């Protein structure tokens, strides 16, 4: 077959069409996300903090009308509009300048990247804010649960010690994504991507491509990913584990995945006890102390993120089994065909892929505690097998008929209405009776607002340590927002919010603008004390941030609540203890331990 070479005039025409197909766009990166503005020669664009600016960014470093951008052919003319913090190009403040695609301009603290994009690229979804990512992730969790599908969350950051702005990462990551995938801002130097209907294989392909040494001296990209449901079954959990993965990536190991095991075992004592300042949580901890002495099964009820695993850990650590393993398993994350193998173990050759004998959760926890999270997700066959284990205290591995004696206490948890599931036939009533020898309800965070500040302080200390920061605390505005927000994701949502705030904070104190958009949108209550002293009714010796910082702040809160209760009770310790939901002996101990009498308070008539 003969072919005719293309004429030079035809090639020139194709190139002109391609040239005409390109657009000049501004990518405006700010604290909450990024805006993409496609320029046209006849319509200048003003960027600023408020009207009449066409592009309005809520950033204190911007002036009301900060700078005007006008397209002129392939370049862009920038005019500073007498802004307070200036317009900067190449490290120099400019009043008027011409830039081309590839250049970046700084308006106060807002980065504006000038880019050349195709018409097709201009139709692709832009960089979502962190808040938009959370909403999209929550919706994707619901969809994936309903259809039984998988998806992945990926985070990427520069390997440079000082980091690199997301403007250097966005286009690189976006080029590797499918049109259906979403990309979002996590912080000024970390981008996150949501890969729809994708498992670990596609996520791994993406992060490996990002880890390839780039051309032109661009920095190496470090990545981490988490998959649903293996690494987590709720949005906050997936974000938390994905961030932990990317944070642990190094230049030597630039790709990290979140743990995907369906169960984990910890032989020693766990982290600190649940934070309990509110009367509701004090009652929970009092019950924890009582039930920990026995081996009866316990059923924990509560919304997602309320800290059911933390309470289960406290039950284990305070009891006689504390020296033995506690094994935690998320029943909702186990593939249905592997549930019984995971819980009870299997013999070699029991099914395809069973290459060797494997102990199950109950054998691994022998002498200790099994924590069955999301117990309501167990399929019917596994429910029947679990009932047999609870009745006989024996397990039988898949592929065997030989029972094995096990001695493991069971603590189960669910966010579902388990009694309604029994009524509908979705959960066995006889199994519920076995599990709920003692039932404890963990209140949501909105029902115990007194716990918000001490929890935030604990998470702040943990985030400082994990991220190498030294944030001292919360300013008055951020504390007011923390108190006002309802925290539907409970303690897990609060922890993620504090961790991200620690990452993006620019000063010594977390400010209101460092919090998520949804928390900032909550109407503030009465002003908080300056720099977040969480309780001001009792003066305890102050301590600088460090090993004792959290302890001091918690003591301050606890002492203030006790003093308030004593004052309302007219100094009657029995009445005060009842109001606080704690035994009298506990109150007497705390009065002595906190030194409240020495600090200037004594009941009437008490010398």
The owner of tokens 């009870």 is 344
Q: Which residues contact 361 (CB under 8 A, 6 or more apart)?
A: 263, 327, 329, 342, 343, 344, 370
Q: Facing residues of 301 across strands?
A: 414, 441
Per-residue model confidence as pLDDT tens digits over 219-253:
678 999 999 988 888 899 899 999 999 999 988 89
Higher model confidence: residue 282 or residue 124?
282
**Token pair belonging to 78:** 């920038």
**Token pair belonging to 491:** 């303690």
Per-residue model confidence as pLDDT tens digits over 480-504:
999 999 999 999 999 999 999 999 8
Q: 542 pLDDT band (50/70/90 cuts)?
A: very low
pLDDT of 544: 42
For the beta sheet containing 33-38, the strands, ordered from the edge strand earlier in sequence to the opposite edge, are: 33-38, 22-30, 110-118, 104-107, 87-89, 92-94
C-alpha–C-alpha distance, residues 102 and 114, integer Å: 6
pLDDT of 161: 58
Q: 217 pLDDT band (50/70/90 cuts)?
A: low
DSSP class of 504: H
Q: 21 pLDDT band (50/70/90 cuts)?
A: low
pLDDT of 439: 94
Average pLDDT over every residue of 32-41: 85
Max mean pLDDT among 270-284, 350-364, 386-400 falls in 386-400
Query: How far, CA to CA in Å, does 70 sit from each of 21, 99, 169, 458, 545?
Result: 19, 10, 26, 49, 49
Q: Could you give the angle at the alpha carbon of 410 between the alpha carbons of 409 and 413, nearest 5°?
A: 150
**Cβ proximity of 152 and 207 under 8 Å:** no
pLDDT of 18: 45
Residue 19 has pLDDT above 60, yes or no: no
Per-residue model confidence as pLDDT tens digits over 376-390:
999 999 999 999 999
pLDDT of 598: 40
pLDDT of 6: 47
Q: Of 125-139, 298-312, 358-372, 504-518, which range is least confident?
A: 125-139
- pTM across the whole model: 0.72
Average pLDDT over every residue of 540-562: 58
pLDDT of 12: 52
**Residue 66: φ, ψ to 5°:** -95, -55
Q: Of 113-117, 391-395, 402-406, which range is least confident?
A: 113-117
pLDDT of 603: 41
Residue 288 has pLDDT above 90, yes or no: yes
> Quick one: 557 exposed, middle or buried, by C-beta within 10 A (0-12, 13-18, 19+)?
buried
Q: 549 pLDDT band (50/70/90 cuts)?
A: low
Q: 523 pLDDT band (50/70/90 cuts)?
A: low
Average pLDDT over every residue of 45-74: 93
Name all domains of the chain by residue range, CATH numbers in brackets. 14-118 (2.60.200.20), 127-257 (3.30.70.270), 279-441 (3.40.50.300), 447-521 (1.10.8.60), 551-594 (1.10.10.60)
Q: Of 159-163, 326-330, 342-346, 363-367, which range is least confident?
A: 159-163
**Cβ proximity of 128 and 33 under 8 Å:** yes
Residue 215 has pLDDT above 60, yes or no: yes
Residue 546 has pLDDT above 70, yes or no: no
Residue 38 has pLDDT above 50, yes or no: yes
pLDDT of 604: 39
Per-residue model confidence as pLDDT tens digits over 171-207:
788 889 988 899 988 887 889 999 999 988 999 999 9
**Token pair belonging to 540:** 């305890």
Q: 524 pLDDT band (50/70/90 cuts)?
A: low
Q: 131 pLDDT band (50/70/90 cuts)?
A: confident
Q: 414 pLDDT band (50/70/90 cuts)?
A: very high
**Token pair belonging to 575:** 């009445």
Q: Of 271-275, 290-294, 338-342, which range is least confident?
A: 271-275
Max mean pLDDT among 152-161, 393-402, 527-536 falls in 393-402
pLDDT of 478: 93
Residue 601 has pLDDT above 50, yes or no: no
Q: Which residues contact 279 (CB under 8 A, 6 or more apart)?
A: 450, 579, 580, 581
Per-residue model confidence as pLDDT tens digits over 417-436:
999 999 999 999 999 999 99
Average pLDDT over every residue of 116-133: 73
Residue 526 has pLDDT above 60, yes or no: no
Interior/surface letters 367-379, b for 16+ CB within 10 angstroms, e for the rest: ebbbbbbbbbbbe
Q: Which residues contact 495 (CB under 8 A, 6 or more apart)?
A: 240, 455, 459, 462
Q: Which segments of 159-220 are extended strands (E)?
A: 182-187, 190-195
C-alpha–C-alpha distance, residues 527 and 257, integer Å: 42
């Amino acid at each position: 077959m003969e072919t005719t070479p293309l004429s030079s005039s035809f090639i020139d025409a194709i190139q002109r069409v391609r040239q005409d197909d390109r657009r000049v766009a501004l990518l405006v990166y700010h604290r909450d996300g990024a805006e993409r503005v496609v320029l046209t020669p006849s319509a200048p664009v003003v960027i600023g903090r408020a009207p009449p600016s066409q592009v309005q960014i809520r950033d204190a470093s911007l002036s009301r009308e900060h700078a005007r951008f006008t397209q002129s052919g392939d370049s862009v003319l920038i005019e500073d509009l007498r802004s307070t913090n200036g317009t900067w190009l190449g490290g120099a403040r400019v009043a008027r300048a011409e830039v081309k695609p590839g250049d970046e301009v700084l308006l106060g603290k807002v980065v504006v990247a000038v880019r050349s994009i195709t018409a097709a690229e201009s139709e692709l979804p832009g960089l979502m804010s962190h808040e938009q990512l959370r909403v999209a992730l929550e919706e994707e969790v619901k969809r994936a649960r309903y259809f039984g599908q998988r998806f992945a969350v990926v985070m990427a950051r520069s390997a440079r010690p000082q980091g690199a702005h997301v403007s250097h990462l966005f286009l690189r990551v976006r080029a590797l994504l499918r049109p259906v995938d979403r990309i979002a801002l996590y912080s000024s130097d970390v981008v996150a991507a949501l890969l729809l209907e994708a498992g670990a294989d596609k996520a791994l392909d993406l992060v490996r491509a990002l880890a390839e040494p780039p051309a032109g001296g661009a920095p190496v990209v470090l990545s981490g990913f988490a998959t649903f449901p293996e690494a987590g079954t709720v949005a906050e959990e997936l974000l938390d584990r994905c961030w932990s993965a990317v944070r642990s990536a190094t230049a030597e190991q630039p790709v990290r995945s979140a743990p995907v095991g369906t169960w984990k075992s910890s032989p020693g004592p766990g982290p600190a006890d649940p934070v309990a300042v509110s009367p509701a949580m004090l009652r929970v901890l009092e019950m924890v102390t009582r039930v920990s002495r026995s081996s009866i099964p316990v059923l924990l009820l509560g919304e997602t993120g309320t800290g059911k695993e933390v309470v289960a850990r406290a039950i284990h650590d305070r009891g006689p089994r504390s020296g033995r393993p506690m094994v935690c398993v998320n029943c909702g994350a186990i593939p249905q065909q592997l549930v019984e193998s995971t819980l009870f173990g299997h013999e070699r050759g029991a099914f395809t892929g069973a290459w060797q004998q494997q102990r199950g959760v109950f054998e691994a926890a022998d002498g200790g505690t099994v924590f069955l999270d999301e117990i309501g997700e167990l399929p019917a066959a596994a429910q029947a097998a679990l009932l047999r284990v609870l009745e006989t205290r024996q397990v039988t591995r898949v592929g065997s008929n030989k029972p094995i004696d096990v001695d493991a206490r069971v603590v189960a948890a669910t966010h579902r209405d388990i009694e309604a599931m029994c009524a509908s036939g979705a959960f066995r009533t006889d199994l519920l009776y076995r599990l709920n020898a003692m039932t404890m309800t963990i209140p949501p965070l909105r029902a115990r607002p007194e716990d918000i500040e001490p929890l935030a302080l604990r998470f702040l200390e943990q985030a400082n340590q994990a991220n190498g920061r030294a944030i001292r605390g919360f300013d008055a505005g951020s504390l007011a927002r923390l108190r006002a927000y309802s925290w539907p994701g409970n303690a897990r949502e609060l922890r993620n919010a504090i961790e991200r705030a620690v990452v993006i904070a620019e000063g010594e104190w977390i400010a209101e603008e460092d919090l998520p958009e949804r928390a900032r949108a909550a109407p503030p209550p009465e002003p908080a004390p300056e720099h977040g002293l969480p309780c001001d009714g009792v003066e305890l010796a102050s301590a600088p941030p460090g090993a004792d910082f959290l302890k001091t702040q918690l003591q301050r809160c606890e002492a203030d609540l006790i003093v308030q209760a004593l004052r309302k009770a007219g100094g009657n310790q029995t009445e005060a203890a009842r109001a606080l939901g704690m035994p009298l002996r506990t109150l007497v101990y705390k009065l002595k331990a906190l030194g409240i009498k020495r600090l200037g308070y004594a009941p009437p008539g008490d010398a």
